[in-house]
């Protein structure tokens, strides 16, 4: 597989997951059933902060939706992510199934209508549309893609993004005062509340909620689960790229981060939650960097330079 295609698949996975997660996070922030106007301004600012967006002036839910969902100048807004996913898919059309391309393309074209509907009747339809289209896309990938390297890159991108976004979501709560229901909200934004109830079988407490989202082994949107999937993708890719059994740098970084998370005592994890979440984000970023450098091996498309004697001659003649 071409490196360019590998990179595109990786980023399609990331962008679709990014749009999906952003919609989920916004949904619970905008439609918080215990929304209390005075306290939520700080919560919204914190959310923007962890998404790395600076903001000034009043920040109501409308503005928050604009910045994180609709703003085309923010490269990780929902709209930008879905555009980038489609652009990447366009460049890799022959490597993905027609169904996958069509679903991303149709999503992009339907998005304009959804964005207009936000003006008319609020953003709730958009926040349902995006996760549904994401589920459709990954469902089509699941049923139309051979389990080869291309599949591994797509799932790797999705999993890495999920780790990063879940860490950001949790970061947005660190240090924030909260009412009891906020922790239910947090779980709900990851579709984890029902799974939590069924497996933990007790009332939601801050500690149990954070632990579930970080460490649950069975729930597919937990950080640990996503890291394990990412690692297994990297292991598969190692096998096809380096039959001699080398461990690629990204796998090493991720495996190390996963192991320290997995085997840290839960109370120590919670005590330094903020640092842990930053370390997770850093690990995702570093793993992404290692992939870009070693596997995707991007060469900058700079024009050819005349070198050697001819160039020296040209220089010399300029004197």
Is 180 a residue that touches another protein (CB under 8 A)?
yes
Cα radius of gyration rounded to whole Å, the chain? 22
Is 148 a residue that touches another protein (CB under 8 A)?
no
Is 220 a residue that touches another protein (CB under 8 A)?
no
Is 265 a residue that touches another protein (CB under 8 A)?
no
Of 204 and 233, nearer to another protein (C-beta) is 204
Let me know if 208 is exposed, middle or buried by CB neighbors in 10 A (0-12, 13-18, 19+): middle
- In this structure, are residues 64 and 29 in contact, taking their beta carbons and an 8 Å threshold? yes
Is 2 a residue that touches another protein (CB under 8 A)?
no
Is 159 a residue that touches another protein (CB under 8 A)?
no
Please identify which residue in 68, 88, 103, 153 interacts with another protein, judged by CB under 8 A.
Answer: 88
In the complex, the smallest distance separating the C-beta of residue 160 from another protein, rounded to whole angstroms, is 9
Query: What does each C-alpha distance from 170 to 11, 26, 194 come to in angstroms?
Result: 23, 14, 18
Positive or negative, the Cα torsion across 232, 234, 237, 243? negative
Span interacting with another protein, options 94-102, 142-150, 174-182, 233-241, rule CB under 8 A:
174-182
CA distance 50 to 274: 11
- In this structure, are residues 158 and 16 in contact, taking their beta carbons and an 8 Å threshold? yes
DSSP states of 228-258 as a string? HHHHHHHHHHHHHH-TTTPPPHHHHHHHHHH
Is 142 a residue that touches another protein (CB under 8 A)?
no
Is 120 a residue that touches another protein (CB under 8 A)?
yes
Span interacting with another protein, options 34-42, 141-149, 225-233, 235-243, rule CB under 8 A:
34-42
CA distance 268 to 225: 20
The binding site for another protein (CB under 8 A) comprises 7, 11, 14-15, 18, 30-37, 39, 49-53, 60-61, 75-76, 84, 88, 120-122, 124-125, 161, 164-165, 168, 171, 173-181, 184, 194, 196-198, 200-201, 203-204, 206-207, 270-275, 277-278, 281, 284-285, 288, 296, 298, 301
């Amino acid at each position: 597989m071409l490196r360019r295609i590998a990179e595109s698949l990786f980023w399609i996975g990331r962008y679709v997951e990014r749009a999906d997660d952003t919609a989920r996070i916004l949904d619970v922030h905008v439609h918080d059933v215990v929304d209390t106007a005075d306290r939520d301004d700080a919560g919204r600012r914190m959310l923007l902060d962890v998404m790395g967006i600076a903001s000034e002036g009043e920040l109501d839910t409308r503005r928050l939706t604009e910045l994180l969902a609709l703003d085309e100048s923010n490269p990780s807004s929902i709209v930008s992510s879905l555009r980038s996913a489609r652009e990447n898919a366009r460049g890799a059309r022959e490597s993905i199934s027609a169904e996958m391309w069509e679903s991303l393309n149709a999503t992009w074209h339907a998005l304009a209508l959804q964005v207009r509907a936000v003006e008319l009747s609020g953003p709730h339809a958009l926040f349902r549309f995006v996760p549904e289209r994401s589920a459709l896309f990954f469902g089509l990938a699941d049923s139309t893609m051979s389990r080869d390297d291309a599949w591994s890159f797509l799932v790797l991108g999705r999993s890495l993004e999920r780790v990063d976004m879940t860490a950001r979501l949790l970061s947005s709560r660190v240090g924030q005062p909260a009412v009891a229901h906020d922790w239910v909200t947090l779980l709900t934004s990851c579709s984890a509340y029902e799974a939590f109830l069924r497996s933990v079988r007790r009332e939601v407490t801050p500690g149990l909620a954070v632990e579930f989202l970080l460490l649950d082994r069975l729930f597919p949107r937990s950080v640990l689960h996503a890291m394990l999937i990412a690692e297994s993708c990297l292991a598969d890719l190692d096998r096809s790229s380096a039959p001699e059994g080398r461990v690629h740098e990204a796998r090493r970084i991720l495996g190390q981060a996963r192991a320290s998370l997995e085997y840290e005592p839960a109370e120590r994890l919670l005590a330094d939650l903020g640092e842990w979440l930053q370390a997770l984000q850093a690990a995702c970023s570093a793993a992404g960097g290692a992939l870009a450098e070693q596997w995707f091996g991007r060469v900058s498309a700079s024009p050819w330079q005349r070198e050697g004697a001819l160039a020296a001659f040209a220089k010399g003649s300029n004197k």
